[in-house]
Amino acid sequence: MNLDWSSIDTVLLDMDGTLLDLHFDNYFWMTYLPKVYAKHYQKDLEETKTYLLQLMKNAEGSMDWYCVDFWTKKLGLDIISLKKEVDHLINLRPAVSHFLDAVHASNKEVYLITNAHHDVLELKLEKTKISHYFDGLFSSHQYGHIKERQDFWKMLIKDLPFDPKRTLFIDDSEAVLDSAAKYGIGHILSIGTPDSKQVRRAVSKYQMLHDFSDIIDGIIEKK
Q: Using H for helix, E for strand and C for coil, what is the string for the chain?
A: CCCCHHHCCEEEECCECCCECCHHHHHHHHHHHHHHHHHHHCCCHHHHHHHHHHHHHHHCCCHHHHCHHHHHHHHCCCHHHHHHHCHHHCCECCCHHHHHHHHHCCCCEEEEEECCCHHHHHHHHHHHCCHHHCCEEEEHHHCCCCCCCHHHHHHHHHHCCCCHHHEEEECCCHHHHHHHHHHCCCEEEEECCCCCCCCCCCCCCCEEECCHHHHCCCCCCCC
For 58-67, 128-137, 193-202, which range has the lowest pLDDT when averaged over its residues?
193-202
Range(s) of the chain covered by CATH 3.40.50.1000: 5-21+91-215
Task: Work out the number of other CB atoms within 10 angstroms of the CB of residue 77.
Answer: 15
Whole-prediction pTM: 0.94
Contacts of residue 85, defined as CB under 8 A and 6 or more positions apart, other chains included, come to 32
pLDDT reported for residue 221: 54
The 10s digit of each residue's pLDDT in 112-131 is: 999 999 999 999 999 999 99
pLDDT reported for residue 113: 98
Q: Which CATH superfamily is domain 5-21+91-215 in?
A: HAD superfamily/HAD-like (3.40.50.1000)
The 10s digit of each residue's pLDDT in 39-52 is: 999 999 999 999 99
